[in-house]
C-alpha cells in the first residue's frame, strides 16, 4: 500500500518570523515593476522604485490585514519582457532591506533568479516565491542555501509566449505531476519538505477553462500534502467569465478567493488586501463555525 503524504505544514519559519498557516492568510502584492498587468508603475517614481511610496503601501496593506508581503521586481504577465539580474537586484533589494527593518510581517520575494534569492535572503526576506518552480540553473541550490521556505508554482512556457494556445490532455494530472517532480528535485538538493508550498499557477500557460478546472478541483492538489498558495486577483479568467475590465474585477477576485479558501488554499495572494482579509476571515469562521478566532 503506498504511503500517505505528510500533513501540510502549519507554520513556516520565515527568517526567524513564524508564519502561522494553520488558518488561511492573505499575501499582499508589492510589484516593483513598470509593466505588471494590473498595477505596474504605481510604486515607481521616474522609473525607479520610490521607497517612500512603497513604504506607505506596505504599511497600508499590513494595517488592512496582510499577513505577508510579496515583493516582485520582474513582471511575469503574459507578454512581459525579461529583466536582467542587475535590474531585478536594483529594484528588489533596497525594498527588502527597508521593509525588513520597518514592517512586522514576513517578506516574500517573487523571483526566479538565484542571485536575487541569495541577496534578498541576506537582507531580510523570509520566503522565496518562484513562478518557475526553481527551474532556472542554480535556483534550487540557491534556495536551499538560504534555508528559507519556497513556493513552487506550475507554469508552462515563458511570459512572452505562455498564453499562445496552451493545451493539456489532463490539466489536473499535468499540474500535479509537475509539482511532484519539482518537490522531488528540491528535496534531493536539501530543501526540507516542511519548507515547501505549492501554487497551481492560475493564468500561467492556461486558458480560462483550465483555470476553472484547477480551482474546482483544488483539493486534489492539496492531497499532495503541502500548503497551497493561490493567486487569482484581478486575473483574466475573471474578465472572461464576467466581461469586466481589470479595474472592475474586485467582486470576481473576492468570489474566487472565497472558493479557494473553502477548497483548502492557505495563502491568498492579492492586490486588494482589506476586502480579501474580510472574505478570508468569514470563510474560516464558516468552516469552523465560530464568530471570532481564538
Among 192, 203, 205, 104, which residue's Cα sits nearest to residue 163?
205
Contact yes or no for 235/207 (Cβ under 8 A): no
Q: Report residue 235: phi and psi, to 5°.
A: -75, 165
Three-state secondary-structure class, residue 229: strand
Q: Report residue 74: phi and psi, to 5°.
A: -135, 120
3-class secondary structure per residue, 252-273: HHHHHHHHHHHCCCCEEEECCH
How far apart (Å, rounded) are the C-alpha atoms in residues 110 and 201?
A: 13
Count of CB atoms situated within 10 Å of the CB of 235: 22
* Residue corresponding to grid cell 536575487: 116
Active site residues: 235, 269
For 17, 104, 134, 208, 288, the CA distances from 130, given in Å and listed in that order, are 20, 23, 6, 22, 32
CB-facing half-sphere around the CA of 280: CA atoms within 13 A: 27
Amino acid at each position: 500500500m503506498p504511503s500517505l503524504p505528510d500533513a501540510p505544514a502549519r507554520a513556516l519559519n520565515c527568517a526567524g518570523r513564524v508564519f502561522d498557516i494553520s488558518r488561511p492568510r492573505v499575501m499582499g502584492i508589492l510589484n516593483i515593476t513598470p509593466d505588471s498587468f494590473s498595477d505596474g508603475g504605481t510604486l515607481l517614481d521616474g522609473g525607479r522604485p520610490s521607497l517612500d511610496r512603497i513604504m506607505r503601501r506596505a504599511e497600508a496593506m499590513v494595517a488592512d490585514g496582510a499577513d505577508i508581503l510579496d515583493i516582485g521586481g520582474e513582471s511575469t504577465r503574459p507578454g512581459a519582457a525579461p529583466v536582467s539580474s542587475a535590474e531585478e537586484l536594483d529594484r528588489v533589494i533596497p525594498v527588502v532591506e527597508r521593509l525588513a527593518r520597518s514592517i512586522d510581517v514576513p517578506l516574500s520575494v517573487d523571483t526566479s533568479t538565484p542571485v536575487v534569492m541569495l541577496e534578498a535572503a541576506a537582507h531580510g526576506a523570509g520566503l522565496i516565491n518562484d513562478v518557475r518552480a526553481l527551474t532556472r540553473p542554480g535556483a534550487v541550490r540557491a534556495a536551499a542555501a538560504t534555508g528559507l521556505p519556497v513556493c513552487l508554482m506550475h507554469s508552462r512556457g515563458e511570459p512572452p509566449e505562455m498564453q499562445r494556445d496552451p493545451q493539456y490532455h489532463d490539466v489536473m494530472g499535468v499540474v500535479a505531476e509537475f509539482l511532484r517532480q519539482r518537490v522531488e528535485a528540491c528535496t534531493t538538493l536539501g530543501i526540507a519538505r516542511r519548507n515547501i508550498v505549492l501554487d497551481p499557477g492560475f493564468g500561467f500557460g492556461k486558458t480560462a477553462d483550465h483555470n476553472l478546472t484547477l480551482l474546482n478541483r483544488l483539493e486534489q492538489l492539496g492531497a499532495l500534502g503541502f500548503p497551497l498558495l493561490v493567486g487569482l486577483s484581478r486575473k483574466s479568467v475573471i474578465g472572461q467569465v464576467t466581461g469586466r475590465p481589470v479595474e472592475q474585477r474586485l467582486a470576481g477576485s473576492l468570489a474566487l478567493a472565497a472558493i479557494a479558501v473553502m477548497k483548502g488554499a492557505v495563502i491568498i495572494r492579492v492586490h486588494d488586501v482589506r476586502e480579501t482579509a474580510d472574505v478570508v476571515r468569514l470563510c474560516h469562521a464558516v468552516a469552523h463555525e465560530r464568530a471570532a478566532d481564538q
